[in-house]
Chain A
Amino acid sequence: MGELRLMKGNEAVAEAAIRAGVDAYFGYPITPQSEVLEYLMLQKPEERTGMVVLQAESEIAAINMVYGAAGTGKKVMTSSSSPGISLKMEGISYIAGAELPCLILNVVRGGPGLGTIQPSQADYFQATKGGGHGDYRLVVLAPASVQEMADFVDKGMELAFKYRNPVMILSDGLIGQMMEKVELPDQKERVKEFDQSWVITGKTKDRERNIITSLNLDPDKQYQHNMRLKEKYDSMSDDVMYETFDCEDAEFLLVAYGSSSRICQKAVDEARSRGKKLGLLRPITLFPFPDAIISKLARQVKGILSVELNTGQMVEDVMLAVNGRVPVYHYGTPGGKIFSPDDVLKAIDEKLMGGY
């Protein structure tokens, strides 16, 4: 068993990054994720593993440092919260276009605009539909615990390099700030030998020069590039991850991710104790979205409620997966307000089971 510690979600990400052998982190302070940069600076990772940690002058600079460093084949990451992620979107689009691997943590807070510093799931659309300009997708992982905050660093890096694509951990202020028991992974060596066929480390005599770019002025070539990217995004469905709770005999289904799913678990327990056959599906990857299992469950249940800390975003993807087979509803609280299990139970009675 690995080392056990009581940590904040943000600290767990930072510690896991050092232990995963991440080569560099470039960040900028913003609540509620500043503990990532603070923890890293305190830990002197340059002494522990040689990891580079730099506080940039802005989120824009930080993501462009990630872009530069990722082009050299290294394991690179950044983190921020909603307004800062919006600033990073330009760079993320370039990284996706140039097909570079990297990891981006979004500890989501309420918006729009400067919004609030309280937890929210308002950035679902931004994370799963691309976010920046152009036709691209990120792999999006949604942790529901401090443990998963730690685990998804290594997992995210693995997926980033598998697809040569940016991976986002879509967390929120609740998971970033709360403290839980976490089993930390063992220290990994930083990778010394890696695939240098596409990276920019200086052109040697035995190969053509390598170019990192997202520019392709020829529309035929840009079309081909986009179609190849689409094939890549389609192939990501191999890595769909989800969890089911009490779905075997469920007549009604909740769909919820991240912190919402934790609250919904409690609601399901309570509903079951009252004899109601309620189940919960928790997407772990938001892109690729677990639409096959939702489609399958839609043949079994009478109705589905998408429960989110927003005014209704993931519910659209649930509806697409359900394709009209059963009614799909949304329940959520936007702007940094968190619903309780009782609130969810009430919504289940009013919306989901109202007609039954």
Chain B
Amino acid sequence: MDIKEIIKPENLVHQRTSLMTDATLSYCPGCGHGTVHHLVMEVVEEMEIQEQTIGIAPVGCSVLAYDFMDIDMSQAAHGRAPAVATGIKRLWPDKFVFTYQGDGDLAAIGTAETIHACNRGEDITIIFINNGIYGMTGGQMAPTTLEGMKSSTSPYGRDLQSMGHPLKITELVAQLPGTNFVTRQAVHKPGNVRKTKKAIRKAFEVQREKKGMSFIEIVSNCNSGWKMSPNESNVWMEEHMFPSYPLGDMKVDGKIVKDLMKDLV
């Protein structure tokens, strides 16, 4: 099959969503952010809700998410995205409002805003990228950094005694009555990408039905911050991140579907 044959319209299996702008992504090659951006915009396009969708960009690598997604967006102060989203959603209850946050933003400085938005059952979607590190500021320790994991502020590895334990915030919010759909996914392999997209679609459907908070954690690599090649980082993620942050649904339709206590301790 030559190139002309391959690019025939009938052979098209995947097309870039029209809701991503032409701006060059600012993310490192190999990073999962770009994939997740595309998935969110694909879901918005497929549900035909561009005119009703408002996104919140955090402080972190995705601070410029509004440069890439062709929707109305608001930037938020560090950690405050769930509060910003609450303000918007309370006044525009029929819009689709999502936040896009990293682990430092959501699980450290924004813990209170995260827990309380979940507990109030705000009809928003939180998309939470967990790479175990502060990526944009140069790879500092995050609340999600694993035991023994080296970062620029834990150069000898995270010591649980003095630096505390990795925070599994998704297992915590799954237990709050305000959350309806809580899941942990990844985007490093095609199968995982498909599952994540399905989860994002489900989250937006929950929002449409006003059933409460939908919360998606996506365990992702940070090859630059972890100082690995993209491929190495994905292998390392499977071997080290997934045992601490196991993939799968935690809560579906308001019912806990997993032994959360087992994963927590």
Q: Which A residues fall within an 8 A CB radius of B?
A: 23-24, 26, 52, 54, 56-58, 60-62, 64-72, 74, 76, 90-91, 94, 98, 200-205, 209-215
Q: Which of B68-109 contact A (CB under 8 A)?
A: 70-77, 80, 83-88, 90-92, 95
The answer to whether B236 has its CB under 8 Å from any CB of chain A is: no
Known contacts A54-B90, A58-B112, A201-B92; A68/B52 CB under 8 A: no
CA distance A90 to B80 in the complex (A): 11
Give chain B residues whose Cβ lies under 8 Å from the Cβ of A58. 112
Instruction: Kindly state whether residue B244 has any CB partner on chain A within 8 Å.
Output: no
Q: Are A65 and B86 in contact (CB under 8 A)?
A: yes
CB pair A200 B75 closer than 8 Å:
no
Beyond A24-B90, A24-B91, is A67–B84 a contact (Cβ under 8 Å)? yes
Tell yes or no: B152 within 8 A of A by CB.
no
CB-nearest residue of chain A relative to B75? Answer: A213
Complex Cα distance, B24 from A138, in Å, reads 37
Q: Given the complex, which residues of B lie within 8 Å of A74, measured CB to CB?
A: 91
Contact indicator B83/A72 (Cβ below 8 Å): no
The answer for the CA separation of A54 and B75 in the assembled complex, in Å, is 22
The 8 closest A-B pairs by CB, nearest first: A68-B87, A65-B87, A68-B84, A64-B83, A69-B87, A213-B75, A200-B72, A57-B116
Query: How long is the Cα–Cα vector from A204 to B73 in the complex, in angstroms?
Result: 13
Bound CA–CA A23/B92 (angstroms): 11
How near does chain B come to A203, taking the closest CB pair, in angstroms? 5
A69: contacting residue among B50, B71, B80, B88, CB under 8 A: B88
- B199 proximal to A (CB < 8 A): no
Residues A60 and B88 in contact, CB atoms below 8 Å apart: no
The reply to whether B75 and A56 form a contact with Cβ atoms under 8 Å apart is no
With A24-B90, A67-B87, A201-B95 known to touch, is A214 a contact of B75 (CB < 8 Å)? yes
Would you give the shortest CB distance from A206 to chain B, in whole angstroms? 10
Which partner residue on chain A sits nearest B96 by CB separation? Answer: A202
| CB-based contact A64/B77 at 8 Å | yes
Contact A54 B86 (CB under 8 A): yes
With contacts A52-B90, A200-B72, A211-B73 known, is A68 near B66, CB below 8 A?
A: no
Partner of A76, one of B51, B87, B95: B87
Within 8 A of A (CB), among B30-82: 50-54, 56-57, 63-64, 66, 70-77, 80
Task: Name 13 extra pairs, CB < 8 A, besides A202-B53, A213-B66.
Answer: A52-B91, A65-B83, A65-B84, A67-B77, A67-B80, A69-B90, A71-B84, A200-B54, A211-B73, A211-B74, A212-B73, A213-B75, A215-B64
Determine whether B249 belongs to the interface, using a CB cutoff of 8 Å to chain A.
Answer: no
CB distance from B73 to the nearest CB of A (A): 6
A211 and B69 CA atoms in complex are apart in Å by 11
For residue B205, CB closer than 8 A to chain A, the reply is no
Give the shortest distance, in Å, between B219 (CB) and chain A (any CB).
Answer: 27
Alpha-carbon separation in the docked complex, A239 to B93 (Å): 36
Task: Name A71's closest neighbour in chain B (CB-CB).
Answer: B74
Out of A24, A62, A66, A201, which one reaches B54, CB within 8 Å?
A201
User: Least Cβ distance of A292 to chain B in Å?
Assistant: 37
From A57, A71, A202, residue with most partner B Cβ within 10 Å:
A202
Contact B56–A68 (Cβ < 8 Å) = yes
Listed A/B pairs (15) with beta-carbon separation below 8 Å: A54-B86, A56-B83, A61-B83, A61-B112, A65-B83, A67-B74, A68-B56, A68-B84, A71-B88, A72-B91, A202-B53, A209-B70, A212-B74, A213-B66, A215-B64
**A203-B95 contact given A52-B90, A91-B80, A215-B75, CB 8 Å threshold:** no
Interfacial chain B residues near A210, Cβ < 8 Å: 72
Q: CA–CA, A58 to B116, complex, Å?
A: 10
- How far is it, in angstroms, between the C-alpha of A57 and the C-alpha of B112 when the chains are bound? 8
- Of all chain B residues, the one with the shortest Cβ separation from A56 is B83
CB-CB under 8 A from B84, the residues of chain A are 64-65, 67-68, 71
User: Is B74 a contact partner of A203 (Cβ separation < 8 A)?
Assistant: no
Compute how far the CA of A215 lies from the CA of B66 in the bound complex, rounded to whole angstroms: 11
Taking CB atoms, residues of chain B closer than 8 Å to A209 are 66, 70-73
Can you name the residue of chain B whose Cβ is closest to the Cβ of A60? B80
The answer to the question of B113 belonging to the interface, with a C-beta cut-off of 8 Å to chain A, is yes
Among B51, B86, B113, B116: residue with most chain A CB under 10 A: B86
A61-B198 Cα distance, complex, nearest whole Å: 31
Residue in A closest to B52 when the chains form the complex, CB atoms: A202
Which residues in A have their C-beta under 8 angstroms from that of B74?
67-68, 71, 200, 211-213
Determine the chain A residues whose CB is within 8 A of the CB of B63 once the complex forms: 215
Tell me the nearest residue of chain B to A199, going by C-beta.
B72
Q: For the complex, what is the distance from the CA of A289 to the CA of B167, rounded to whole Å? A: 49
Contact assessment for B113 and A64 in the assembled complex, using a CB-CB cutoff below 8 Å: yes
**What is the distance, in angstroms, from A80's C-beta to the closest C-beta of chain B?**
15
Complex Cα distance A24/B66, Å?
26
Known: A57-B112, A61-B116. A200 touches B73 (CB 8 A): yes
